[in-house]
Amino acid sequence: MKFSPLALGLAAVCAGPAAQAQSSVQLFGLVDVNYLRVSSDGSNGSVSKLGTDGNLSSRLGFRGTEDLGGGLKAGFWLEAAINPDEGTGGTTSGTNQAIGAFNPATGANAPVRSGTQGLTFGRRSTVSLSDSWGEIRLGRDYVPGFWNLSTFSPFGTNGVGSSGFMFYPTPSAARITNVRASNSIGYHLPESLGGFYGQAMYALGENSSNAGAIKDDGKVTGLRLGYASGPVNVAYGTTRTKISALGDLTQSNIGGSYDFGAAKLMVLWGENKTGANKTRAQLIGAHVPVGAGQIRAAYTTLKASGVANDASHLALGYVYNLSKRSAVYAHYARITNKNNGTAFDLGLGVTSPGGSSTGYEFGVRHSF
């Protein structure tokens, strides 16, 4: 939703009349609330709760651009995760490194606990310059190895059908940079390359040079290259994070989709490595338009080496669009552990060897 009068008024006060024709600011957001029930084999039983992000991630943000002339533009993007079921904000990570568990006796690490730190712009916080040569972004942004998990999965990375259950890093890894990295320098290719697109990133862990073995911890490098034209979209992405205690984390994937009109087919392959530990996952899925809505289906298998266990993930769902900005949805999913393992679940731990975790959710989504 554009607030042009407000934006122009602020521009006139801060920068004079010339800025009125050059600047724009937007307030935007999305609210997604659902009822969720998850049950898992073993001693943990089941849980029912009101949750969020079942279809898309709830957020509140501000973004804007200024035309500097000659094709050059400056921009900013501040986007915060919100939990509308609780009225709290999401978390962030300052140095791309795990900082340990919360200590209730001392209050240590309190800023990273969800709901205790107020509103943080942890989803994205960037300033940028763009031109015909592309865009340079500075700040907190999505890592190149994340985008395929969202683009080439029928459920994206949301809800019980999320690709993240199988495609996020191995259970042995700290999942600090599986989606975003702080302190990043990023470059995005321009949109005028005949369908080719891409992103490169370098992020700093900000440790002292005399910190010994951990001096490079939190350093992130990544690359994504893709091609989209007509019904075809295909891309490769990879991100590497320095983690001395684990032997570094590498998240790589390749995905593609083809829109037949009557259905959109998606495939995704991904590998996550931490030292000698490795998981590989393969997904096949589809979007099928039905009236004002869309059927979604995905099936994923995971093979593990050196850590965790094999597993599979089945997800089915339907999203019905009430308007361009509002929708209702219902999803069902089941994760089954293999090899007598218990590593994978839908948010409630499995305690029976080789057990399963089952969940369903239905909710409402509204954007503005």
Residues 343-358 pLDDT 10s = 999 999 999 999 999 9
Q: Which residue has the higher pLDDT, 91 or 114?
A: 91
What is the per-residue pLDDT for 145?
97
What is the per-residue pLDDT for 118?
76
Q: Which residue is associated with the tokens 């001392």?
A: 106
Q: What is the CATH number of domain 4-98+118-367?
A: 2.40.160.10
pLDDT confidence bin for 48, thresholds 50/70/90: very high
Other CB atoms within 10 A of residue 286 CB: 16
Question: What φ, ψ does residue 24 adopt, rounded to 5°?
Answer: -145, 145
Contact 108, 99 (CB under 8 A): no
Question: What is the model's pTM?
Answer: 0.89
Q: What percent of the chain has pLDDT over 90?
A: 82
Nearest to 138 by CA among 198, 92, 76, 79: 76
Convert the pLDDT of each residue in 101-156 to its tens digit: 555 554 555 445 555 567 899 999 999 999 999 999 999 999 999 999 999 999 99
For residue 61, pLDDT over 50 is answered with yes
Q: What is the SS3 assignment for 126?
A: strand
Nearest to 190 by CA among 198, 179, 182: 198
Residue type, 301: T
3-state helix, strand, coil split of the chain in percent (to 5) is 10, 50, 40
From first CA to last CA, the distance across the chain in angstroms is: 6
What is the per-residue pLDDT for 103?
52
Q: What is the mean pLDDT of residues 274-288?
A: 96
Q: How far apart are CA 144 and CA 198, in angstroms?
A: 9
- Look up residue 255 and give its two tokens: 């995905």
Contact 209, 218 (CB under 8 A): no
Contact 246, 272 (CB under 8 A): no
Q: Which residue has the higher pLDDT, 35 or 12?
A: 35
The rounded mean pLDDT for the chain is 91
What is the per-residue pLDDT for 108?
53
